[in-house]
With several copies, the nearest count.
Chain A
Amino acid sequence: MSVLVDEDTRVVVQGITGGEGKFHTEQMMEYGTNVVAGAVPGKGGQEVAGVPVYDTVDQAAREEDANASVVFVPPAFAGDALFEALDAPVDLVVAITEGIPTQDMSRVYKRLSETDTHLVGPNCPGVITPGVAKLGILPGNIFSSGNVGLVSRSGTLTYQVVDNLTERGLGQTTAIGIGGDPIIGTDFTDALELFEADEETEAVVMCGEIGGEDEEEAAQFIAENMDTPVVGFIAGRTAPPGKRMGHAGAIVSGSGTGTAESKISALEDAGTPVGDTPEEVADHIEEIL
């Protein structure tokens, strides 16, 4: 079993005719993902990587029975692309695009609350169920199938942690990059809820970082609702207040909310061990399993 992505996932790629869209469509298909359509306004009737392109997501979803979308649309148009995906509708939208204006995402977030769709991202590496399918830009080769669920706000940090896990033979059920933006669709709590309900997932790694209070809310969720053990990691212990550390969401406020200390202590209070280094995260998981 797995969460969000499985054998029945049928993907439409929004922005498939762009450089990144085309490249990652090929990469996804090579990994085994069932990409059934692309959607780009004005490019309907074309083919990319053997996949038919439609002018609208609605047409693509209707004609090819797509139930998931991966969005590679540039930031200026990505908000609109997300609305289009949500209205198609599809069950899962994975938004890779980095740099979507926060106010655009605020409106998307409102719309999302009116639908049953899962949105992952934006500004995320995507979702992968090792050996089955990947939706996004994650390098498939570092993942392996197993019993560890992984959820992370960061891309390359995820790869680092996965690499450490895989090296020790600790495979993954599904890995979800939820993205580093201040406003995202699926948050830690949503992801943990999915993993808790997944029978195959026996432990979860949660890689948080400074900014916001999502990790603190997740800690509360863990304490109150989770039987599956969780191991945490928090990046940004040395970040100064008021500075955006790469990710638009990774910022400790001037008033001191969103600090690594607050997140680490919330997780530890919830009984969740937090690794000081990525290696330590793998150590904890190894102990648990």
Chain B
Amino acid sequence: MKLHEYQAKQVFADAGIPTPSSQLAETVDAAVDAADDIGYPVAIKAQVQVGGRGKAGGIKLVDDAEEARAAAEDILGMDLKGYTVDRVLVEEAVDFTNELYVGVTMDRGEGKPVAMVSTRGGVNIEEVAAEDPDAIAREHIDPSFGMHPYQARKAVYDAGVDREVAGDVASVLTTLYELWTEKDGSDAEINPLMVTSDDEVIAADAVMNIDEDALFRHPDLAEMQDEAAEDDLEAKANEYGFDYVRLDGNVGIIGNGAGLVMTTLDLVDYYGGEPANFLDIGGGAKAERVTNALDMVFSDENVDAVVFNIFGGITRGDEVAKGINTALEQFDEIPKRVVVRLAGTNAEEGMEILNTDLVTVEATLEDAVQRAVEYAEEDSQ
């Protein structure tokens, strides 16, 4: 779960990391008022969770109220890589002499956190990592001890940060690590961490992504999640408790188990179709979950046909089949053709139960996917 810049900055500021003064605005008038309030120059920054906002015109620096109004008008409502901007952060423009990068993430290969510092801040750090890995100082953290003070210093000095600001940068990194730990972060980043002419450091951007599996112990962050959701269907999936990812194609996909659903997507692609989504309904297939899953897929206007792929393990195939029938019987008219493939325990009994005019049944995964791709082509609008 990704926090918005304005949310992450609030979290950082509360922990004592210096951030520029800023206000969130949802209308042009509010943005101009905020800019007047903060004092010019200010930056007007689109609050959408896509990288490269600046290049795409989502961040503008303005020197007076007139420019502020023009910028807010431009940015509010604009489309940034598929997302509509409905909030801007109006922020004090900081005069800087240097831009650093500091970040904390989980190195899954090592199974431990890694703290990172670079003097190449203000640009895409993944590009820096790819082109010049040595430009980023990395310090792995033993999660049982946490980050020792010397490790923060080591990362900072190894990165070549000036001695004048090294102590402050180490202290920001320490706080960032503590926040990352305390909030169950997956990634926490400040890019750039600006250095001013009088050797102050200030977080000009803020990234804080949270481990969704840990949200149960962070009710405050879980609240932010709702505010952060960008897509109506993804918000609905959160509500239903599904793992759901929206894609660009027209074959709706429902299945149980992440690997099997991914494989179904891959097969749709392999047989010439285009997957519209990833939707894992998880273990079991009670009628309610099946209904919700179909509701989600049918709600996606891109979808032209649906493949429903269930491998019954402990769950018996006949029970799954009954769930599917009950769910589909609730519709007066089934909006899109649904192909079902059922395998595993009691699959044959299940397929008999499914032998109605509600769905098309196929015996193998390959056949089911090919049939759904066919339907989607036929019914594509």
A94-B146 Cα distance, complex, nearest whole Å: 24
Q: How far is the CA of A238 from the CA of B247 in the complex (A)?
A: 9
Q: Which residues of A contact B216 (CB under 8 A)?
A: 75-76
The answer to whether B314 touches A245 (Cβ under 8 A) is: no
A182 surroundings in chain B (CB, below 8 A): 106, 108
Contact of B259 among A41, A44, A163, A207 (CB under 8 A): A207
Interchain CB contact under 8 A, A81 and B150: yes
Whether B148 contacts A183 by the Cβ 8 Å rule is: no
Name the distance in Å between A60's Cβ and chain B's nearest Cβ.
Answer: 11
B110 to chain A, nearest CB (A): 9
Contacts of B365 in A (CB 8 A): 160, 277-278
Alpha-carbon distance between A276 and B270 when the two chains are bound, in angstroms: 8
Q: Does A18 contact B (CB under 8 A)?
A: no
A137 near B314: Cβ-Cβ < 8 Å: yes
Q: How far is the CB of A258 from chain B (nearest CB, A)?
A: 9
CB-CB under 8 A from B270, the residues of chain A are 276-277
Most buried by B among A27, A109, A217, A249: A109
Verify A41–B153 contact, CB threshold 8 A.
yes
Contacts of B113 in A (CB 8 A): 103, 106
Q: A42-B167, A154-B257, A240-B247 are in contact. Are A159 and B108 (CB under 8 A)?
A: no
Least CB distance, A31 to chain B, in whole angstroms: 11
* Residues A235 and B262 in contact, CB atoms below 8 Å apart: yes
Using A55-B153, A56-B153, A102-B186 as known contacts, say yes or no to A248 and B163 having CB atoms under 8 A apart.
no
For the complex, is A33 an interface residue (Cβ under 8 Å from B)? Answer: no
User: A137: which B residues are within 8 A, CB to CB?
Assistant: 313-314
Question: B157 near A: Cβ within 8 Å?
Answer: yes
Q: Are A157 and B129 in contact (CB under 8 A)?
A: no
Q: How many residues of A contact B (CB 8 A)?
A: 80
Chain A residues with CB under 8 Å of B261's CB are 245-246
Tell me the bound Cα distance from A210 to B261 in angstroms.
13
Give every chain B residue within 8 A of A235 (Cβ-Cβ).
259-260, 262-263, 266
In chain A between 89 and 107, which residues have their CB closer than 8 angstroms to a CB of chain B?
99-107
Q: B243 contacts the other chain (Cβ, under 8 Å)?
A: yes
CB contacts (< 8 Å) of A24 on chain B: these are 314
Nearest chain A residue, comparing its CB with the CB of B260 = A156
- A244 on the B face (CB < 8 A): yes
Q: Does A283 contact B (CB under 8 A)?
A: no
Interface assignment of A111: CB less than 8 Å from any CB of chain B: yes
Interface stretch, picked from A2-10, A138-146, A198-206, A222-230, is A138-146
| Contact (Cβ within 8 A) A255 B260 | no
Within 8 A of A (CB), among B323-357: 343-345
Chain B residues, Cβ within 8 Å of A213: 109
> Is A273 part of the contact surface with B, judged by Cβ < 8 Å?
no
Measured between beta carbons, the chain B residues less than 8 angstroms from A154 are: 257-260, 262
In the complex, which of the residues A57, A107, A246, A260 contacts B278, with contact meaning CB atoms closer than 8 Å? A246
Which range holds the interface residue count of chain B?
Answer: 35 or more
CB within 8 Å of B: which of A10-47?
A: 23-24, 27, 41-42, 44-45
B257 to chain A, nearest CB (A): 3
A180 touching B259 in the complex, CB below 8 Å, given contacts A111-B144, A156-B313, A276-B270: yes
A102 to B265, CA, bound (A): 26
Most buried by B among A56, A59, A75: A56
Could you tell me the distance between the alpha carbons of A159 and B260 in the complex, rounded to whole angstroms?
Answer: 9
How far is it, in angstroms, between the C-alpha of A240 and the C-alpha of B270 when the chains are bound?
Answer: 16
> Which residues 68-83 in A have Cβ within 8 Å of B in the complex?
75-77, 80-81, 83
18 A–B pairs (Cβ distance < 8 Å), ordered by A:
A23-B314, A56-B150, A56-B157, A76-B217, A103-B106, A141-B345, A156-B311, A159-B311, A180-B258, A211-B108, A212-B109, A235-B262, A237-B265, A239-B278, A244-B212, A247-B258, A249-B108, A255-B129
Besides the contacts A58-B154, A102-B211, what 15 more A-B pairs have beta carbons closer than 8 Å? A41-B167, A56-B154, A75-B216, A110-B112, A137-B313, A137-B314, A139-B312, A142-B313, A142-B345, A155-B260, A238-B262, A243-B245, A244-B212, A247-B258, A276-B270
Using CB atoms and an 8 Å cutoff, list the residues of chain B in contact with chain A.
Answer: 51, 106, 108-109, 111-113, 126, 129-130, 142-145, 148-150, 153-154, 157-158, 163, 166-167, 181, 184, 186, 211-214, 216-217, 243, 245, 247, 255-263, 265-270, 275, 278, 280, 311-314, 343-345, 364-366
Instruction: Give residues in A with beta carbon < 8 Å to B.
Output: 23-24, 27, 41-42, 44-45, 55-59, 75-77, 80-81, 83-84, 87, 99-107, 109-111, 125, 137-139, 141-142, 152-160, 163, 180, 182-183, 207, 209-214, 217, 235-240, 243-250, 254-255, 260, 276-279
